[in-house]
């Protein structure tokens, strides 16, 4: 495929910046770069524009550096919350990718960031907080905190475990409570407490029985005195 040499008039990712002289496929230059005014043919007349293009490039890069530095300071204070589906055991279905994070930055904070600037060594596959590196500029990096939470409630499993543990504890308690009752010669504290109460009732019954007897003697004594006076 024939090549042609061009001068870039705009920054093209993966190809170069303003004023760079690069070789590209002739068809690519003819059908895309030249019609979009992203490049011009490398000629002696066009070389005069290189200095102007370099100045424009310097201004663009300075503006990008300042903008990305300010963005990095703001992003370092943010926490992107991402909700995911999980199983009952807390394991995620799928993973969180750089594209997912880019979408959430746009949705939650109205920050437009190319996913290629979000650097993940591996997709996120666990719940919790994760620090994600953002390569905003050649000289500017930032760290974004990403919090991954489950859409599935995780309270069912722990409750079941607590319930099983409670039944086991209850079973042990019952067995421990029954063993002393089966031993010979073991007197329960309740039985000892009942005996003094039973003994204390006997004097009370005797007093009740003596009261009618005293009353009958008094009546008979009064009747005898009344007959003697007659």
Residue 201's pLDDT is what?
Answer: 47
Contacts of 11 (CB under 8 A, 6+ apart): 17, 18, 57, 60
Q: Which two tokens stand for residue 41?
A: 């043919």
| pLDDT tens-digit series, residues 100-154 | 999 999 999 999 999 999 999 899 999 999 999 999 998 999 999 999 999 886 5
pTM across the whole model: 0.55
| CATH of the structural domain 3-72, one choice from 3.30.70.270, 3.40.5.10, 3.40.50.300, 1.10.10.10 | 3.40.5.10
* Fold equal for 3-72 and 76-150: no
Dihedral of alpha carbons 122, 128, 134, 140, sign: negative
The answer to whether the CB of 132 falls within 8 A of the CB of 102 is: no
Query: Which residues does the chain have with pLDDT short of 50?
Result: 156-160, 165-166, 168-175, 177, 180-187, 189-209, 211-213, 215-216, 219, 224-230
Distance CA 14, CA 116 (A): 12
| pLDDT tens-digit series, residues 84-94 | 999 888 889 88
Residue ranges of domains in the chain:
3-72, 76-150
**In the CATH hierarchy, which fold is given to the domain comprising 76-150?**
Ribosomal Protein L9; domain 2 (3.10.430)
Residue 155's pLDDT is what?
Answer: 56
């Amino acid at each position: 495929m024939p090549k042609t040499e061009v001068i870039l008039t705009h920054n093209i990712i993966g190809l170069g910046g303003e004023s760079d002289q690069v070789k590209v496929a002739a068809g690519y230059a003819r059908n895309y770069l030249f019609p979009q005014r992203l490049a011009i043919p490398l000629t002696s007349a066009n070389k005069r524009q290189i200095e102007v293009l370099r100045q424009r490039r310097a201004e663009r890069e300075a503006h990008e550096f300042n903008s990305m530095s300010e963005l990095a300071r703001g992003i370092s204070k943010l926490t992107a919350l991402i909700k995911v589906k999980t199983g009952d055991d807390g394991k995620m279905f799928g993973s969180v990718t750089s594209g997912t994070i880019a979408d959430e930055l746009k949705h939650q904070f109205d920050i437009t960031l190319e996913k290629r600037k979000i650097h993940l060594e591996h997709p996120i596959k666990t719940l919790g907080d994760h620090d994600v590196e953002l390569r905003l500029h050649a000289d500017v990096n930032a760290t974004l905190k990403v919090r991954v939470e489950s859409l599935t409630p995780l309270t069912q499993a722990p409750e079941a475990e607590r319930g099983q543990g409670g039944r086991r504890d209850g079973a042990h308690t019952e067995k421990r409570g029954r063993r002393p009752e089966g031993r010979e010669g073991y007197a329960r504290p309740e039985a000892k407490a009942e005996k003094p109460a039973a003994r204390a009732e006997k004097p009370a019954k005797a007093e009740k029985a003596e009261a009618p007897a005293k009353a009958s003697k008094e009546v008979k004594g009064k009747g005898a005195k009344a007959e003697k006076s007659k």
